[in-house]
Amino acid sequence: MALYDVPAPAKINLFLHVTGRRADGYHSLETVFRFIDLCDSLSFDLRQDGKIEREAGVGLPGLAPEDDLVLRAAHALQKATGTRQGAQIRYEKRIPAGGGLGGGSSDAASTLIALNRLWQTGLGRDELMALARPLGADVPVFIFGRPAFAQGIGDILAPVNLPERAYLVVHPQQHVPTAEVFSAPDLTRNTACVRISVFADWQKINAPNNGFIQDGLFGSNDLESVVFAKYPKVGHAAKWLCEQGFSARMSGSGACFFVEFVTLQQAQVSRQQIISKLSREHGDAFVQESWACSGLIDHPLRHWISS
């Protein structure tokens, strides 16, 4: 038995507010998560000897097994359920590491979902989310499986309805470590809390007019100023996108930015325009990759789990 080409989608944070710092050192956040169709791909072959092994795949240079969230997720499910089955795992990365798109967290979540199916361990969504939490703050939302308004450390989730949108995603040539950003002394940690209804009302008021986004994006990403100061290529990319007339926002702790569009065609046209202009003006000085992506209504594996 096997499961091949299992998708692990990227996420973007439509906004990210840091509302406080907890006694345990973690930060209190408010954000809206949205999945996009930029995906890693994982494959799982069943093993009867109980071993869990990772084959060399695309995009995994220098990732030690003990640091691999995919292997940690597989072992966590195996231990929690007592199954004697194992898996041979292979995956290919498209989501950049250190980009704020949740690639490692998404890979871990898709591993829990896929192996729960392959091993027939029968865990429900709440049980898988409980296994996901110790793996990382972003892992539970991928198990949750829907666009979500998140509070706490990002793990208190409520479903939120989002309209169909497309995104231009730009990856600067810089890796940003999340822990370093959150530990920065100049990080603002007192943004006022908002209610999910405020965000929902804002979406209605700011509906597109004549097929175009009108007034930018809701809220802010409170991590941007810290990242721009510490990582100049990220700040340079933000400044350049603004100069091109784009209302761009950093996702998570960076380094990637997204620009929202009504249609995928608009995102594709804008991507071609910035590729052409960057090539003429800057070569590849500060942008590594870019993608035109559709926003997803649900996680592609949502219905693999019983609620």
Catalytic residue IDs:
11, 138
Give SS3 for 164.
Answer: coil
As a whole number of angstroms, the distance between CA 123 and CA 113 comes to 9
Measured in residues, the chain has a length of 307
* Residue pair 181/253 in contact by the 8 Å Cβ criterion: yes
Closest C-alpha to 100, from 159, 149, 171: 171
Cβ neighbours around 143 below 10 Å, total: 27
As a whole number of angstroms, the distance between CA 306 and CA 188 comes to 40
How, if at all, do strands 257-261 and 166-172 pair?
antiparallel
Report DSSP state, residue 36: E
Give SS3 for 167.
Answer: strand
Report DSSP state, residue 209: B
Residue 221 region, left (φ>0) first, then alpha (ψ -120 to 50), else beta? beta
Closest C-alpha to 87, from 6, 12, 166, 161: 6
- Residues pairing with 292 in the sheet: 168
Handedness of CA 271, 274, 280, 284 (dihedral sign): negative
As a whole number of angstroms, the distance between CA 307 and CA 301 comes to 12
Q: Which residue has the tokens 């700011």?
A: 206
